[in-house]
Amino acid sequence: MKLYSSPTTPFGRKISVQILESGLADHVQTETVSGTPLDPGSMPIDRNPLGKIPALETPEGVIYDSRVISRYLDDLSGKGLYPKAPLLWKTLTLEATADGILDAAVSMAYELRLRPEPIRFPQWLEGQWAKIARALDAIEAGWMDHLAGPMDMAQIGMACALEYLDFRHGARNWREGRPQLAAWAAEFAKRASMQATQPPAA
């Protein structure tokens, strides 16, 4: 199988971490691609018409969207990163929350990196950060038991989301006022899979 991804995409990083945690490293070759909404560059638009990564070539054809790929790989590996219901619904909800954090954070990064400074929209940036802050507060208040449980795809997604906040929005200091989440992230970051998939310096 071939994974189209980039060292800097948190959505691709989730899949790279999963591959390592699931013992699939010998079965997946990674091809590094790059591009933006303004210029697709080497993005696999012939495999994903949306021009987004990650995308995965499988024996059954190309699949894309990180949550689709992660379900496919979990089915293939039998690792059980998606538990059976009713716990499954909590895993999927927390995974969606992590992806929502990333959607907002990536949008902020594009605003800052691609839009010329004179026409940036500060209020829009703050609105995106407000979404992130609300989500982090909710996790600190009500999701720490789940994060402390058996590892699942939601934990991988959340760890990658938090490290992306450091990578692109470190000055925002997401850890302030969230000591439990900060401690959990620090511990999860010690995993070999997280160490092996660190993005390059921002």
pLDDT digits (tens, 9 = 90+) for 10-41: 999 999 999 999 999 999 999 999 999 999 99
Quick one: pLDDT at residue 118? 94
Question: Residues 88-116: what's their mean pLDDT?
Answer: 97
CA 25, distance to chain mean position in Å, is 18
- Residue 116's Cβ-side half-sphere holds a number of Cα atoms within 13 Å equal to 2
Structure tokens at 139: 């996790």
pLDDT digits (tens, 9 = 90+) for 45-69: 999 999 999 999 999 999 999 999 9
**Is CATH 3.40.640.10 the right assignment for the domain spanning 2-77?**
no
With 70 as the cut, is the pLDDT of residue 202 above it?
no
**CA 85 – CA 88 distance, rounded (Å):** 4
C-beta neighbour count of 102 within 10 angstroms? 23
Report whether 153 contacts 74 (CB < 8 A). Answer: yes
Residue 149 carries which DSSP code?
Answer: S
Percentage of the chain exceeding pLDDT 90: 98
**CA 118 – CA 27 distance, rounded (Å):** 47
Report whether 52 contacts 59 (CB < 8 A). Answer: no
Which phi and psi (to 5°) does residue 17 adopt? -65, -45
With 70 as the cut, is the pLDDT of residue 149 above it?
yes
Quick one: pLDDT at residue 35? 93
- Residue 44's Cβ-side half-sphere holds a number of Cα atoms within 13 Å equal to 20
Question: Residues 74-81: what's their mean pLDDT?
Answer: 98
Residue 53 carries which DSSP code?
Answer: S
Task: Summarize the chain as % helix, strand, coil (round to 5).
Answer: 60, 10, 35
With 90 as the cut, is the pLDDT of residue 201 above it?
no
Question: Residues 178-198: what's their mean pLDDT?
Answer: 98
Report whether 154 contacts 128 (CB < 8 A). Answer: no
Residue boundaries of the structural domains of the chain: 2-77, 87-195
For the whole model, what pTM was predicted? 0.96
What is 137-149 written as a DSSP string?
Answer: HHHHHH-HHHHTS
**3-class DSSP state for residue 79?**
coil
CATH value of 87-195 in 2.40.50.100, 3.90.230.10, 1.10.10.10, 1.20.1050.10: 1.20.1050.10
**CA 66 – CA 97 distance, rounded (Å):** 14
